[in-house]
Each structure stands twice: as C-alpha cells, then as structure tokens.
C-alpha cells in the first residue's frame, strides 16, 4: 500500500474512540515462511519485526494496553528446534528493543508461567519487567507459556490461598474480584481482539477477559501485518455498537 493510502486510512481513525486495550493473536508465521520456501523460523523472525512496528504504532495511537500472544501452553508440542528458535528470537527481541521500549516509557509485563521457560529467556524477561516497572505510557503485556484455561486455574489457586490465609471470605468472590487474581490483574478487559492468519478461533487466549471484546479477523499472515491492517481493525472497531448486554 502506498504511503498516501496508509495516511488516508490513518486519517479515518477517530482519536476520541481509540480502544483502550488491544489484544493480538500473532498467527501465521509458519505459513508465511512456507509460502516462500523458507524455514518456519524465518517466519518467526519476520513476525518479530512486526512486533517492533506494531508496538510503535500502538504507542502513537495512544493505546494504553497491548497484549500479544507469543507462545501458548500448547506450543510446547512443536518440534524442539522450532521452540528453541522462538526462544532465541524472544531473547533477541528483548536485548535489541529494551532500551527503546524503556525510553518510550513502555512497561513490559508477562502473562503465563515463565518459570517453565529456559534460563536465558526467563532471565531476559525478568530483567525487562524489572527495568520498565515504573513506566506509564503503555503496558506491553506478552503472553508467554500462556493459556486461558491455565490462567483460570492459576486464579482459583490464588483465591483459595487467600481464603486459607483468612484474607478474603468465600462470599467475597465476584467476577471483579476474580479478575484481580489472574495474570491481567492490573489491566482492563481487551476492547479489541485481532487475529490474523485466517483461523477463526481463540486458541486458548484470554478466555476470561474477552467476554465482551470485539473480534477482528483477517486472512493476512502476521509477518504481513503492516500498520495499515492495524488501522483497518481500529476503523472497523469504531463502527461497532457495543451494548454489553444492554439495549
């Protein structure tokens, strides 16, 4: 798409109605690579570049929370070689982007059980969270070894722990309280969920949080997800009539 066309799209965005929290299932890296007779890891590498771009675009649009699904609890089923490649890319991403992210006042947060990650990526992720913990422009929430069902169990266990300790009572449990016991405790629910790659499913992503989220699907593969697609998703979102069960 030409620069002018991209600008034209951007100008259609209503800056008074920007989704507060956007969640993205970054899918289609493997197929993008296959189409080009490249190894799947090449697709993940190109996908990482789109992460760099999209974080920048999100910041410019004043999006306050950006959740990215990077590695699911089910992705461990993949060949070890691919898992190793993904972990290497994660480490590369943090090492090369952390300074810029920090300068941009972005806070990195993770959802998922990172204790199961190999030592190097786990260390890099912890360092990034610690360094950026006081940043306030945007929260970049990355799903790593993340699964929606896993998260719900994690929340239940945390609640039970607090009941045992006498901090809360069983009768205190409400949907709002529960949302304080899961990974996204300091984040509002997503307003917009984007899934490229043509799949029309959630693949275990943010099951508790997306009760009233607007969905936007596209056939484009994640490595092709340039800023214009982000603008298109937001423009579509702004046409939706969100009723939350009301009239």
Minimum CB distance to ligand IPE, residue 116 (Å): 15
- Contact set for Mg ion, span 170-229 (CB under 5 A): none
Catalytic residue among 75, 104, 135, 158: 75
Which among 26-34, 74-82, 103-111, 148-156 is the span making contact with Mg ion, rule CB under 5 A?
26-34
Q: Which residue has the tokens 């189409």?
A: 35
Q: Residues 27, 124, 151, 191: which binds Mg ion (CB under 5 A)?
A: 27
Which positions lie near ligand IPE, rule CB under 6 A?
A: 25-31, 69-72, 75, 86, 197, 199, 201, 203
Minimum CB distance to Mg ion, residue 241 (Å): 31
Catalytic residue among 11, 20, 27, 62: 27
The continuous run of DSSP H or E covering 48 comes out as: helix 40-60
Task: Name the pairing type of β-strands 65-72 and 106-111.
Answer: unpaired
- To the query of whether residue 75 is one of the catalytic residues in this protein, the response is yes
Centre a 10 Å sphere on the Cβ of residue 71 and count the other Cβ atoms it contains: 22
The entry of Mg ion, ligand IPE, none that residue 240 binds, CB within 5 to 8 Å by partner kind: none
Nearer to ligand IPE, 188 or 198 (CB): 198
| Distance between CA atoms of residues 59 and 238, nearest Å | 18
Q: What three-state secondary structure class fits 144?
A: strand
| Distance between CA atoms of residues 206 and 146, nearest Å | 9
Q: How big is the site for Mg ion, counted in residues (CB under 5 A)?
A: 1
Compute CA distances 56 → 41, 107, 137, whole Å. 23, 13, 12
Q: Where are the alpha helices (DSSP H) in 12-147?
A: 29-35, 40-60, 80-103, 119-132
The entry of ligand IPE, Mg ion, none that residue 106 binds, CB within 5 to 8 Å by partner kind: none
The entry of Mg ion, ligand IPE, none that residue 26 binds, CB within 5 to 8 Å by partner kind: ligand IPE
The entry of Mg ion, ligand IPE, none that residue 20 binds, CB within 5 to 8 Å by partner kind: none
Q: What are phi and psi of 24, to 5 degrees?
A: -130, 130
Minimum CB distance to Mg ion, residue 31 (Å): 8
| Distance between CA atoms of residues 99 and 5, nearest Å | 32
Nearer to ligand IPE, 181 or 197 (CB): 197
Q: Which residue has the tokens 């702004």?
A: 238
Give the catalytic positions in this structure: 27, 75
- What residues line the site for Mg ion (CB under 5 A)? 27
């Amino acid at each position: 798409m030409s620069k002018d066309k991209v600008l034209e799209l951007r100008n259609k965005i209503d800056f008074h109605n920007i989704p507060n929290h956007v969640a993205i299932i970054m899918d289609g890296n493997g197929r993008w690579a296959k189409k080009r007779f490249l190894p799947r890891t090449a697709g993940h590498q190109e996908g990482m570049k789109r992460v760099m771009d999209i974080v920048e675009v999100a910041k410019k649009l004043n999006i306050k929370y950006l959740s990215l699904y990077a590695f699911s609890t089910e992705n461990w089923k993949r060949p070890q070689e691919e898992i190793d490649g993904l972990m290497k890319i994660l480490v590369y991403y943090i090492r090369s982007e952390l300074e810029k992210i920090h300068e941009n006042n972005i806070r990195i947060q993770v959802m998922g059980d990172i204790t199961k990650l190999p030592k190097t990526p786990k260390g890099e992720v912890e360092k990034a969270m610690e360094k950026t913990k006081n940043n306030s422009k945007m929260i970049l929430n990355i799903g790593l070894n993340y699964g929606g069902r896993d998260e719900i169990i994690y929340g239940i266990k945390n609640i039970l722990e607090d009941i045992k300790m006498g901090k809360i009572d069983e009768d205190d449990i409400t949907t709002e309280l529960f949302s304080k016991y899961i990974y996204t405790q300091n984040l509002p629910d997503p307003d917009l969920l984007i899934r490229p790659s043509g799949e029309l499913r959630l693949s275990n992503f943010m099951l508790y949080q997306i009760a009233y989220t607007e969905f936007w699907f596209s056939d484009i593969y994640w490595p092709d997800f340039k800023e214009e697609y982000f603008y298109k998703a937001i423009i579509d979102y702004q046409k939706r009539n969100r009723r939350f069960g009301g009239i």
